[in-house]
Amino acid sequence: MTAASEHLAREQQLLDEYAAGDHPRKRLVWESERALVVSQLDAHLPRFMDAMRASAAEGWPVTLRKTGGSAVAIGPGVVNFSVVDSWRGTQPTLAYGFDLVCTPVIRALAHLGVTGTTGAAPGAFCDGKYNVLVDGRKIAGTAQRCTRRGPGGALLAQAMLIVDADPAELTSAVARFYERAGSDRTFDARAVTSLARCLAGQVTGSLRETFVNALTSEDSVWEALSGA
The residues, ordered by sequence, that sit 6+ positions from 63 with a Cβ below 8 Å of its Cβ are 3, 4, 5, 8, 35, 36, 37, 38
pLDDT of 218 higher than 90: no
Answer yes or no: is 37 within a domain. yes
The pLDDT assigned to 219 comes to 54
Q: How confident is the model at residue 204 (pLDDT cuts 50, 70, 90)?
A: confident
Look up the CATH number of the domain holding residue 208: 3.30.930.10
Mean pLDDT of all residues in 47-57: 98
Mean pLDDT of all residues in 216-224: 54
Annotated catalytic residue, options 102, 126, 146, 198? 126
**What is the domain extent for residue 24?**
4-218
Q: How confident is the model at residue 48 (pLDDT cuts 50, 70, 90)?
A: very high
Answer yes or no: is 144 within a domain. yes
Yes or no: say if 18 and 85 are a contact pair by the CB < 8 Å rule: yes
Answer yes or no: is 112 within a domain. yes
Total domains present in the chain: 1
The pLDDT assigned to 92 comes to 94
Yes or no: say if 159 and 132 are a contact pair by the CB < 8 Å rule: yes
Report pTM. 0.92
169-195 pLDDT, tens per residue? 999 999 999 999 999 999 999 999 999
94-113 pLDDT, tens per residue? 999 999 999 999 999 999 99
Do strands 35-38 and 72-74 pair parallel, antiparallel, or not at all (unpaired)?
antiparallel
Answer yes or no: is 226 within a domain. no
Answer yes or no: is 16 within a domain. yes
Which DSSP state fits 190? G
Is residue 86 within a helix (H) or strand (E), and if so which, with residue range? strand 78-88
What is 108-137 written as a DSSP string? HHHHTT---EEE--TTSTT--TTEEEETTE
Q: Is 126 a catalytic residue?
A: yes
Answer yes or no: is 85 within a domain. yes
Answer yes or no: is 113 within a domain. yes
Answer yes or no: is 83 within a domain. yes
| Cα 139–Cα 145–Cα 147 angle in degrees, nearest 5 | 165
pLDDT of 69 higher than 90: no
Distance CA 205, CA 74 (A): 22
